[in-house]
Structure 1
Amino acid sequence: MSILKKDIKFNNGLSIPQMGLGTYKLTNKEEIVESIHAALKTGYRHIDTAVIYKNQKLVGEAIKSSGVRREDIFITSKIWNDSHGYNESKQEIDLILKELDVEYIDLILVHWPTPKRLECWKALEEAVQEGKVKSIGVSNFLIEHLEELLKVAKIKPVINQFELHPALTCKKLVNYCNANDIVVESWGTLIRGKCFEIDQIKELAKKYQKSEAQVCLKWAQKNNFVIIPKSSSQKRVIENANIDDFDLTTQDLELLATIVEQRDGPDPANFDF
């Protein structure tokens, strides 16, 4: 099955397209329109944004002008750290709806595990009951954060989005999420471009006549992770989805496992909130 046709089921019975378009650091109107229109034309049906990206209004406008029906597009957003208080979270949920100019959001995440994360979760649960949000999840949560949340949550998180790539496999966290029926979503799958510098990835790219980015995305696909690569280039948006015509062998995966571990983004265990 083409990755653009593959959905991954949530624990609430709903599902998410495995392949999505990330919009982090996309703030130029022309770039956003070109990227989103190219993605939707190619067959993407999942767009990932966040309040802190400061592009939700432009993302919403690009979706509307694409010609693809709203109900056919899965939209993810996230509540930023300074709005995790209960009242602030409720206000931010309404802001997300307003900026994207939609009646509901498919998925909203708690962006980082701040000290007020449980207050934010309560507001998200109420938003589900009010019909403003279809599904709720978390981002950058470690096992201890998930354990704390699961003890008090009335609605179980459907997904955990965190830095995850061949150089940072997070096996314990991935296994915990799988065991608790929480979908795993990878951000930074391309190691923020550093994949082009890693010998093991370069070797497999040459072997399969694919780009280093495609090798990383294939790795994530094989692990059944949701992936949201970002690109402002129409060519790259199309290329990132073109990973159905090759596969990684057991030996290939063993080679990737020899990459020295490196975290490119902030560490959730030592994040300055």
Structure 2
Amino acid sequence: MNNQNQKNEINRRRFLQSTAAAGIYLGLFGMPNLFGNEIMDNNAKEITNVKLNNSVKMPILGFGTYGLRGEVCQQSVADALSVGYRLIDTAKIYGNEEAVGKGIKQSGINRKELFVTSKLWVDDAGYENAKKGFEETLTKLGLDYLDLYLIHRPRGDVKGSWKAMEELYKAGKIRAIGISNFDSNQLADLLSYAQVKPVINQIETHAYFQQGDAYNLLKKHNIQMEAWAPFAEGRNELFTNEVFTQIAKKHSKTVAQVNLRWHYQLGIVAIPRSSQKAHIVENLGIFDFKLDSGDMKAIEKLDLNKTQFPEWS
């Protein structure tokens, strides 16, 4: 963990200690603003599912693994699954697919209960390369199929990659296919030739970069929005932001929970990451309270309308 991430974790931990701890009661208060057809309430004991445009059900809250490696990654995945997560997100470029696979195996959870996502990296773009890259991912994860496979970035031969993914989807090797980091023009280009519509666009989405235009466009096309870095990795002092701390105290919740509840009420799938089990558990505590209109408007005003990760653009 680098110094900035360490600082963010400390800030978050201090705030958690100063607010009322929330239990993991997964009741459902208030329905999110959906992208797809409906939301599936699993008897208020499990994380809510959204139904994608191909009718596949996906948890609206998952566990991200970016930056996690080796035994830490393996244990974190196993911990997440043990406390109730079922969506696990990884990618070839993260260099942790083997560790994720080991964490899944360690958990002992039935494969059919899981929703596993990975992503095709730029080096594997193109028809033949994409098929090879997919098989390598499956092998590293130790799985027979993926629930969701994304083109990680719109680089190289996207058309060839998509054709390969469509074939793998039709063959039953992938339950759903989608994209990541596509802007409106890149999405329009893909839709011009796609035989299978993407179910998701996974993009940077958090309070400081709310992606209003992308949100509306994806809703128009019935493509689910999914947020990477839902906490902006703590950048711009998100965990000590006064607006968030006041809203958190009002609801006896933490800043992290308020942020994830904001995503939930907008119908955005979020995949927070942590190597700390306490935080992994904390992130589940978003289903027993509701942000009111004043809370939502206050958070809306925090939008800087620009990426907090210029180095990744």
Identify whether the pair has TM-score above 0.5, normalized to the shorter chain.
Answer: yes
- Work out whether 1:227 is the aligned partner of 2:270: yes
Quote how far apart the aligned CAs of 1:202 are.
Answer: 2.1
Return 5+ residue gaps in structure 1 as ranges.
none
Amino acid at match of 2:199: V
The residue number in structure 2 matching 1:82 is 123
Match of 1:187 in 2: 228
Q: Partner of 1:92: helix, strand, or coil?
A: helix
- 2:175, 2:265 → 1: CA distance? 27
Task: Figure out how many residues of one structure are paired with residues of the other and give that number.
Answer: 268
Tell me which residue corresponds to 2:76.
35
Q: Matched residue of 2:186: which SS?
A: helix
Q: Does 1:14 align with 2:56?
A: yes
Distance 1:136 1:65, change over 3 A: same
Aligned ranges for residues 126-141 of structure 1 at < 5 Å?
A: 126-141=167-182
Task: Give the distance between the partners of 1:260 and 1:145, measured in 2 at CA.
Answer: 24
Q: Return the letter of the residue paired with 2:279.
A: R
Deviation of 1:199 after TM superposition, in Å, equals: 2.3
Which residue number in structure 1 is paired with residue 193 of structure 2?
152
- TM-score when normalising by structure 1: 0.94
Q: Which residue of 2 aligns with 1:143?
A: 184
Distance in 2 separating the partners of 1:161 and 1:64: 26
SS class of match (2:175): strand
The answer as to 2:267 corresponding to 1:238 is no
Q: Corresponding residue for 2:307?
A: 263
Distance in 1 (alpha carbons) for counterparts of 2:143 and 2:59: 19
Work out whether residues 124 and 133 of structure 2, in 8 Å CA contact, stay in contact via their aligned partners in 1. Answer: yes
Deviation at 1:185, TM superposition (A): 0.5
Q: How does 1:65-214 map to 2 (within 5 A)?
A: 65-194=106-235, 195-214=238-257
Q: List alignment gaps of at least 5 residues for structure 2.
A: 1-27, 29-43
Question: Secondary structure of the equivalent of 1:76?
Answer: strand
Q: Contact conserved, 1:103 with 1:132, CA < 8 A, in 2? A: yes
Give the superposed CA RMSD: 1.6
The one-letter code matched in structure 2 to 1:196 is: F
Contact 1:4 1:18 survives alignment (8 Å) = no
Structure 2 CA distance for partners of 1:3 and 1:257, relative to 1, 3 Å: farther
| C-alpha deviation, 1:129, in angstroms | 2.0
Is the Cα contact below 8 Å between 2:231 and 2:256 reproduced in 1? Answer: yes
Displacement, 1:33? Answer: 2.9
Measure the CA separation in 2 of the matches of 1:137 and 1:4.
Answer: 25
Q: 1:226 to 1:36 in 2, by over 3 A?
A: same
Cα deviations by residue, 1:135-170 (Å, 9 ceiling, x for unpaired): 100001111111111110010000110001111111
Q: Deviations over 1:45-98 (max 9, x none)?
A: 110000001000111011012110111110000011121122211110001110
Determine the C-alpha separation between the residues in 2 that align with 1:105 and 1:177: 23
TM-superposed CA distance for 1:266, in Å, is 4.2
DSSP-derived class of the 1:65 partner: helix
The amino acid of 1:131's aligned partner reads G
What's the TM-score, normalizing by structure 2?
A: 0.82
Q: Choose from 296, 300, 306 the match for 1:253.
A: 296
Contact 1:21/1:39, CA 8 A, preserved across alignment:
yes
